[in-house]
Structure 1
C-alpha cells in the first residue's frame, strides 16, 4: 500500500507535526491450525488471487513464491478475469487461471486463499468469490491492505485482524465491528488471517507453511530470504509519521517528484530468475518518487524460478544508465535489506528510508 497522499498535503499546507499514538498491544502470538485436509487432498491447494486492474506486486508474489518453493503445496495464481494482471506499482503477470477456471478445476474450493491489496477492493465479483471460497472451507489470508478486501466481503466482522499502518484510522472508522490489532506482524483468528504492511508477507507465509509442512520446512525456505524469525513480534507504531519519519515520507511523496525527473528503469526479465527479488526490486524503485521500473524481454512471456509468468512491457533493451538488475542476495543478508541498500546507493539514504517505511520494514542501514 502507498503512503496516503493526503499526508503530504496536510503537512505542507498546515505545517502539522505528526506524532505516533499509542495503539492496541498485540495479543499472544497467533498460530495457523495444522493442515487437516478437509477435502481429502494429500497437499493443500492454495489460490493467490489478484485483480487484473491492479494488484500490489510484492503482496501477491511473496506468498505464492514462499509456498511454491516449499514443494509442500499446490499453489495457483488466480486473476479475476482472463488476461494480464497489471501489478502495482510496476510489472505485469499472467495468472495460471481466472476465478471461473479455478472453480471448474476445484469445485470444492481451495484450502487457502491469499488476498493481496488491490486497487478495486470493493469489486463485487471478487468479494463474492472470496465469500464463496470461505463458505467452502478455505482459510482466507490477507496481506497488507488485502484485509480491506476481506472486510468488504463481510468476513471480518466480529474477528481480530490487522493491515498496513497507514490505513489504521480508516479501518477503525469504516469497519468498527472488527477488532483491529496494531503492533503485530500477523493475526490468525480461526479461518481468517491477516498481515501488517508489505514486508509482513514473508513471515506470514512462513507461519502458514510451518502449519502445513513443519518448522524445518519453513526454516529452509526462510533461509533463502535471509529470514529466520516469523513470529508476530512487530512495532507498527514505529512507522507512523513522527519526528523520525516525516522527512523520509515527504521525500517520497513530494520533494522527489517535484525536484527530480522521473527515470524509467528497465528490469531485464530472464527465465528462471528469482521472482521475489524481481518483485521487490521493481516495487522498491517504483516507490521512490524518482523512478518507475518496467520489464524488458525479447519474448512475449518469461517464466520465473517460482513458476510465475511475467509479461514484458517492452522488447527494447535499455542503456546502462537507465537499467537496473534484479537484486540478488544470499542467506547472510535479508532480501529487503539488499534491495533497500541498492535504492540508497542510487537515490540516497532518506529515500531508501522512506521506501522502508512504506514497506513497513524495520531497516537498519549499514554504517557508511
Structure 2
C-alpha cells in the first residue's frame, strides 16, 4: 500500500471515530459576527487612568511574574519590553523558582530574580504586578504571592488569561473584569461573582486591571505609561512602537469559536506529515516586542513552530536587557528554515507582517486562526 493511501486511510479512520464531532462542528457559527467596537466614554477612560496612577513611589516598581515551566511568551516579554523602553519605572522579571522561565508556545528567558529574592529586596512590595497567562492558573506560590502583594498595596494587572490566575487568587471577586474570549466561561465558572465587561480590551476596578487576549498587552502597557508619566510620554512610546491608538475599544462579538476556526485547526493538526520548524536568529540588542510576536504567531498555526538559535548556547541580551536562552547553538540556518522579526520595521508592524506571511504560506484561514488566538482585532477585522 502506498504512503499516500496509508495517510488517507488513517484520516478516514480518524473521521469515522469522531461520530459525535460532526454534529458539534455543524452547531458552531459559520463565521464571526459583524461587530463594531463601540467608543469608550471619556469619563471611563479617565477613571481607568486614575485607578492606575502609582501611589507608593515616585518612580514605580513593576514586577512581571512567571512560573518556570510554562508562562505565555508575549504576556511575559512585551510588558517588560515596553515599560523598560519607556523608562518610567523599574521593571523586574520574576519566576517562582530558580532557573530559566520556559515560555509557551516559544522561547525561554532568564528571569531577574525569584519571588523570594524580590521579597527580600523589597519587603514593602511592588507598585504594579503584571500577571501573564500560565499553564497552572492556581499555582500555590503565585496565588499566595499575589495576595500578599495586593495586601501591600500593589495594583495587579492580569494580561489575557492571566486574569484567571488573578481570579484564582480571589482578587477579582465582585469586580469588573475581562479576559481572553476562549477562557471567559471557565473564569466565570470558577469565580462567579466577577462582573464581565464586554467590548473592552482592558478593564480596571479597585486595584486590579485585566485585559482581553495576548495582543492586548500593548495597549495595556501604553495606558499604564500614560497613567505613570502622562499622555505625551505614552504617545512617544506608541510612535516608537508603531501604534496609532491604544484605547480600550474592542468588539468582543468578533471573537468566538466558529466552524472555520475549528475546521482549520482540525485540518492543520491532522496534517502530521507536514510540520515545519522555523528558526529565529537571536541578535544582541534586538527588539523584544517583535521577537515575542513573531515567535508566538508562528507557533500557533498548528502547522509550524518557532525556535531560537544563536552562535553559542550563551544567553543573548536584547534591547531592553531581557536575557533570552537560545534553543539551539547554530551558526546559521538555510533561508527557507528561518523567519524574520522585521528589524527594519516598527515593532507593532511585525505581527501584521507575520500574519500576512502565514496567510501566504498556509492560507488565510490559518492566519485567522492565529489572529483569533491572539485576539488581535486589526487582522480579524480585515478578513
| TM-score, normalising length: structure 2 | 0.86
User: 1:201 pairs with 204, 217, 240, which one?
Assistant: 217
**Separation in structure 1 between the aligned mates of residue 154 and residue 20 of structure 2, nearest angstrom:** 42
User: 1:238 pairs with 230, 235, 254, which one?
Assistant: 254
**Separation in structure 2 between the aligned mates of residue 37 and residue 18 of structure 1, nearest angstrom:** 44
Superposition pairs of residues 71-86 of structure 1, within 5 angstroms: 71-86=87-102
Point out where structure 2 has 5 or more consecutive residues left out of the alignment. Answer: 1-17
Counterpart check, 1:120 vs 2:130: no
- Structure 1 pair 334/320, CA: closer, same or farther in 2 (3 Å)? closer
Look up the match of 2:266.
254
Counterpart check, 1:290 vs 2:306: no
User: 1:350 pairs with 352, 365, 379, which one?
Assistant: 365
DSSP-derived class of the 1:137 partner: coil
DSSP-derived class of the 1:233 partner: coil
The total of aligned residue pairs comes to: 355
Contact 2:85 2:320 in 1 (8 A): yes
Superposition pairs of residues 33-72 of structure 1, within 5 angstroms: 33=50, 38-39=55-56, 41-72=57-88
1:50-83 deviation line (CA, Å, top 9, x unaligned): 1101000011111111111001111111111110
Which 4+ runs in 1 deviate beyond 6 A? 20-23, 365-368
**Separation in structure 2 between the aligned mates of residue 235 and residue 172 of structure 1, nearest angstrom:** 19
Tell me how far 1:234 sits from its aligned partner.
0.2
Contact 1:52 1:86 in 2 (8 A): yes
Tell me how far 1:358 sits from its aligned partner.
0.9
**Separation in structure 2 between the aligned mates of residue 247 and residue 74 of structure 1, nearest angstrom:** 44
Counterpart check, 1:303 vs 2:329: no
Contact 2:289 2:348 in 1 (8 A): no
CA RMSD of aligned residues (A): 2.6
User: 1:264 pairs with 267, 271, 277, which one?
Assistant: 277
| TM-score, normalising length: structure 1 | 0.89
Larger radius of gyration: 2
User: 1:131 pairs with 147, 170, 194, which one?
Assistant: 147
Contact 2:40 2:248 in 1 (8 A): no
DSSP-derived class of the 1:264 partner: strand
- Structure 1 pair 15/341, CA: closer, same or farther in 2 (3 Å)? closer
Tell me how far 1:34 sits from its aligned partner.
6.7
Tell me how far 1:108 sits from its aligned partner.
0.6
Contact 1:10 1:16 in 2 (8 A): no
DSSP-derived class of the 1:295 partner: strand
Contact 1:103 1:109 in 2 (8 A): yes
- Structure 1 pair 109/22, CA: closer, same or farther in 2 (3 Å)? farther
After TM superposition, the structure 1 stretch with the greater mean CA deviation from structure 2, 315-324 or 146-155, is: 315-324
Contact 1:112 1:139 in 2 (8 A): yes
Point out where structure 1 has 5 or more consecutive residues left out of the alignment. Answer: 1-7
DSSP-derived class of the 2:257 partner: coil
Contact 1:26 1:182 in 2 (8 A): no
